[in-house]
Structure 1
Amino acid sequence: MLDDSIMAFYPQELHLRLKKQKYQLVGTHSAVKKCNWLHQSLLYNRVCYKEKFFGINSHRCLQMSPTLFHCNFHCLHCWRIMPEDIGLAWDELSPPKQGWDPPEKVFKESFEAQRKILSGYKSLVLKGKISSSKYAEALNPTQVAISLTGEPTLYPFLGDLIELYKKAGCTVFLVTNGTLPNAISSLSSLPTQLYISLTAYDYESFIKLNRPLSKNLWESILKSLEILKSLECPTVLRITSIKGLNMNAPDAFAKIINKYEPLYVETKAYMHIGYSMYRLKRENMPSHDDIKIFAKLIAERTGYNIIGESKASRVILLSKKLISPKKFN
């Protein structure tokens, strides 16, 4: 549920715009938002690539962030609102003035927010357009995607939050930009699967595409990549692929992959949505065929094999070995 104190620490205009975008604000700095694939799964039995690759139930996935207002990047491709987008300013790197919400609060209220979102589907259940049993399942998430917006490793109780979700019977997929390697290595509880989201292939492209608030963060990303092999959970390097900006560098991406050897690599298309539409052009959004070509170039240079694809999500999954992805549910 929305904490009234949120209005005291972040601009009211920001709060209003996020509400308009259907974010369910949780506590002071967290949020839940309905994934389109939850909607597609409930109404049309269409599922996201995470279900296709890893067995995650799209209709039981809770998409959230513990750091709605906090990130150390201003990525060109990101859908989130940034200060420059609306002519406002707030402190994205410092803790909230009242302190971070405890993980128990974020955990409890994120489930409440998801159920509030789903309450709008009750009429469709009564009309027979949604299976009542599937709707009942959706009310009890079994998967949490900590990937909505912001940089989650800025939240100091992230490991505790992950543990709460896991104890509740959920798998947890954590997506990070990898700029806080110490936060990753010191997680008190590892996610079910860890993603490092990568857009850049060298320092120059990093500055151009990610527009970091601190220019020394490229080295931090490389340190996080070094950690991957030591983690006792599956790891994914997700390449957000932007036509005309980073898809011309398969050799550079292959060099990174060959050095750090994540279990999986995803080449996933940039989508022209949200506030990214003010920074990039629609032509920067690759087609699925573009993604397949890029993935094949990566595969040829790394020895990784294409083991899955989702045309609807414009994503290709690669792995070093010819293995089926682990099914978590």
Structure 2
Amino acid sequence: MMQEISIPSGVLKLLKKQKYQIVGRHSAVKKCRWLQNSLVQNRHCYKQEWYNIKSHRCLQMTPTVIHCTNRCLSCWRVEPGDHGYHWDQLAIRNFEVDSPEEIIAGCIDAQKKILSGFKPSGHSKVSWEKWEEAMEPKHAAISLAGEPTLYPRLSELIEEFHRRGITTFLVSNGNLPEVLEEITEPTQLYISVYGSNKDVYRKVCRPLLNDAWERLMKTLELLHSFKCPTVMRLTLTNGLNFSDPAGYAKLVERANPTYVECKSYVSVGSSLLRGLSPDNMIWARDIKKFAEKVAEHCGYGVIGHSVPSRVTLLSRLKKPIKLA
């Protein structure tokens, strides 16, 4: 018999304090800083420049807010052990989950609640036209926190977003290749990679699955089978995994993704409880130099660079595909 899911009361209180909008029993929405920057300052995320993902119309959500197969040192989210809280991160597999329709409706309502604070009648720097567009999300970033492939109805979730005319950008740690192998394709698929070899990966990710590295390797080998654009995201942390560009290049050759994003760790959230600090962030110029070394080893080229987000884009393409 399936159980009722619940977020531990202390964790729920903490998430709300951190401005997560909890949706149903296991999903959440959170305001991205680029949503605010787009509305107030007309500044946008690198995803808008590269992929045409409008920052003010992007819904940052997750169907698995406290459930993941890893406990990454560099992750911003609260994990078991942080603040003295403990729970089973894999337990969602035994729960009765919310439907895709419930999740999406709840997430859009949560986004509108967030946007109510930027209504032009009370916020002189926001235009009515842009605010009204923002109230109708066109892009769903299925990321935010947790591992979305643990949600057993993920294909249906993607399909429902698409039925509503909303593009999907799925971010996964690649630990469940059996899910990705059968999934309805998102508009763009991201696989996060935290180490150039097994030892570094296990140190940074602290995986719950004993064969997590082997599972990730299988996922990388699956990428060539996707028709949608694929992204191998190297999340790099100074002092942990910011080394061995040749090793990362070998993984790129194994996966042959459409793009590689080399991106710095950001010193925020619960990662600060695990011994990380601003010193572990990497300057944009150093990220670019590292990305260029990766590119030299695998035949990719630099086609984008964002200083504010400390990220460099590699591809065999001359320029990114505008998706929306």
Match of 2:204 among 193, 209, 212: 209
Instruction: Give 1:281 deviation, angstroms.
Output: 2.5
Match of 1:67 among 36, 61, 64: 64
Mapped partners of 2:116, 2:9: distance in 1: 26
Mapped partners of 2:5, 2:140: distance in 1: 29
Deviations, residues 130-176 of structure 1 (Å, cap 9, x unaligned): 00000000000000000100000000100100111111111110000
Deviations, residues 174-215 of structure 1 (Å, cap 9, x unaligned): 00000000100111x210000000111111111100000122
Aligned to 1:22: 19
Aligned to 2:283: 287
**1:1-329 pair list within 5 angstroms:** 9-95=6-92, 98-122=95-119, 124-187=120-183, 189-279=184-274, 280-321=276-317, 323-329=318-324
SS, match of residue 236 in structure 1: strand
SS, match of residue 95 in structure 1: helix
Give aligned pairs, total: 321
Instruction: Give 1:311 deviation, angstroms.
Output: 0.8
Mapped partners of 1:74, 1:108: distance in 2: 29
Instruction: Give 1:127 deviation, angstroms.
Output: 4.5
Mapped partners of 1:194, 1:52: distance in 2: 18
Kept in 2, the 8 Å contact 1:125–1:131? The answer is no
Mapped partners of 1:127, 1:313: distance in 2: 26
Instruction: Give 1:259 deviation, angstroms.
Output: 2.0
Kept in 2, the 8 Å contact 1:9–1:96? The answer is no
Mapped partners of 2:133, 2:147: distance in 1: 29
Q: Which residue identity lines up with residue 31 of structure 1 in the other structure?
A: A
Mapped partners of 1:127, 1:239: distance in 2: 37
Q: Which residue identity lines up with residue 27 of structure 1 in the other structure?
A: G
Mapped partners of 1:218, 1:147: distance in 2: 20
Kept in 1, the 8 Å contact 2:41–2:125? The answer is no
Change (3 A) 1:97 1:186: closer
Change (3 A) 1:126 1:197: same
Q: Which residue identity lines up with residue 32 of structure 1 in the other structure?
A: V
SS, match of residue 240 in structure 1: strand
Q: Which runs of 5+ in 1 are unaligned?
A: 1-6
Instruction: Give 1:303 deviation, angstroms.
Output: 1.0
TM-score (norm 2): 0.96
Mapped partners of 2:255, 2:194: distance in 1: 16
SS, match of residue 321 in structure 2: coil
Aligned to 1:4: none
Mapped partners of 2:10, 2:211: distance in 1: 32
